[in-house]
């Protein structure tokens, strides 16, 4: 994890080291002794972080990361809705960042569609396995641990997507033609129940690979339906001024509109709205960079 390390004189380091270790142990101890409140998801998330923190402390003697995740566990124990780790907060090599960004986008997407309420245990497991993956990937030397956490996270995310019919899975390759609808088809999902969320990098209105895969899925879905309208709503996080964020959210809505039109969706039925930093998906204080809030939402009528 990225940690700012201010330059100190040696005497200050020596005098503070014992106190720092005590603080770490106190927060880990507090997590082990806390009784979690909140909903089923936050309570299970507390358990998952507790287990992970104890492993980091006892097996790997990793005090820094144990402290970080103990704090997340304590926040979850208070009932706070703690999010998966932002990829930009970690020193990840460029060759590994893409998979993490894609996985986090998928995870936040299913969370926004109700996975934490419908599948609280699996959602908590998916989040802590993702956090384990990103922590191990930054260290980048225990390949077995990286592979294990990655596989567990991706499997859990896939299970959540399968459990939520309205959750669009990113389309990474061309999809074969659907089977004809004359062989006992299941009842199709209502158009108004379909929700697609395109996420953006910080201060960006351009579309990365993960965003394009979501747009591909939305375009494919739109072309199979007789739609009256496609609604696009752009949002930002709270970093920056309100006026700037209002304009940025407009750009995010417009670029998704253009991308849908390029994929054959009728531009005449696409409506674009923009809300700036209002209606946050994850509630934060002002001037906070939160990846889940940097988005354009696609809905159908």
pLDDT computed for residue 191 by the predictor:
64
pTM above 0.75, yes or no: no
Specify the higher pLDDT residue, 3 or 8: 3
Q: Are 64 and 3 in contact (CB under 8 A)?
A: yes
pLDDT digits (tens, 9 = 90+) for 198-256: 888 889 999 987 788 889 888 988 888 889 999 999 999 999 999 999 999 999 999 99
Could you give phi then psi for residue 171, rounded to 5 degrees? -95, 110
Instruction: Look at residue 182 in the predicted model and tell me its pLDDT.
Output: 41
Give the integer Cα–Cα distance in Å for 71 and 30.
10
Q: Which of 23-27, 267-271, 292-296 reaches the highest mean pLDDT?
A: 267-271
Select from 74, 59, 85, 98 the least CA-distant residue to 24.
Answer: 74
> What are the extents of the domains in the chain?
16-163, 191-300
pLDDT band at 296, cuts 50/70/90? very high
Q: What is the CATH number of domain 191-300?
A: 3.30.1330.60
Contacts of 45 (CB under 8 A, 6+ apart): 73, 76, 82, 124, 127, 128
Task: Give the confidence band of 285 by pLDDT, cuts at 50, 70, 90.
Answer: confident
pLDDT category, 193, cuts 50, 70, 90?
Answer: low
Q: How many residues appear in the chain?
A: 301
Cβ atoms 241, 197 nearer than 8 A? no
- Tell me: pLDDT of 184 over 50: no
Q: Please, are residues 294 and 236 in contact by the beta-carbon 8 Å criterion?
A: yes
pLDDT, greater one: 284 or 269: 269
Among residues 86, 213, 184, which one has the least CA distance to residue 221? 213
SS3 40: helix
């Amino acid at each position: 994890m990225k940690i700012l390390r201010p330059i100190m004189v040696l005497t200050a380091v020596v005098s503070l080291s014992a106190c720092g270790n005590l603080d770490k142990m106190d927060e880990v101890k507090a997590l082990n002794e806390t009784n979690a409140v909140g909903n089923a998801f936050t309570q299970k998330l507390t358990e998952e972080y507790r287990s992970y923190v104890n492993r980091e402390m006892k097996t790997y003697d990793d005090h820094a990361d144990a402290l970080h995740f103990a704090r997340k566990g304590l926040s979850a124990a208070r009932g706070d809705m703690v999010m998966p780790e932002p990829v930009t907060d970690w020193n990840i090599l460029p060759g590994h960042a893409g998979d993490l960004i894609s996985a986090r986008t998928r995870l936040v997407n299913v969370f926004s569609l109700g996975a934490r309420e419908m599948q609280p245990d699996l959602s908590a497991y998916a989040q802590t396995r993702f956090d384990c993956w990103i922590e191990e990937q930054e260290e980048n030397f225990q390949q077995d641990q990286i592979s294990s956490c990655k596989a567990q996270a991706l499997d859990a995310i896939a299970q959540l997507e399968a459990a939520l019919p309205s959750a669009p899975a990113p389309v990474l390759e061309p999809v074969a033609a659907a089977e004809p609808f004359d062989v006992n088809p299941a009842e199709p999902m209502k158009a108004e129940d379909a929700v697609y969320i395109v996420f953006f990098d910080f201060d960006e209105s351009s579309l990365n690979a993960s965003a394009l895969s979501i747009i591909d899925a939305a375009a494919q879905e739109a072309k199979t339906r007789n739609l009256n309208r496609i609604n696009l709503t752009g949002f930002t996080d709270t970093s920056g001024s309100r006026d700037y964020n209002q304009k940025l959210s407009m750009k995010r809505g417009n670029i998704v509109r253009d991308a849908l039109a390029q994929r054959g969706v009728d531009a005449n039925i696409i409506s674009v709205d923009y809300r700036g930093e209002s209606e946050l998906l994850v509630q934060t204080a002002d001037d906070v960079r939160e990846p889940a809030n940097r988005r354009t939402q696609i809905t159908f009528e």
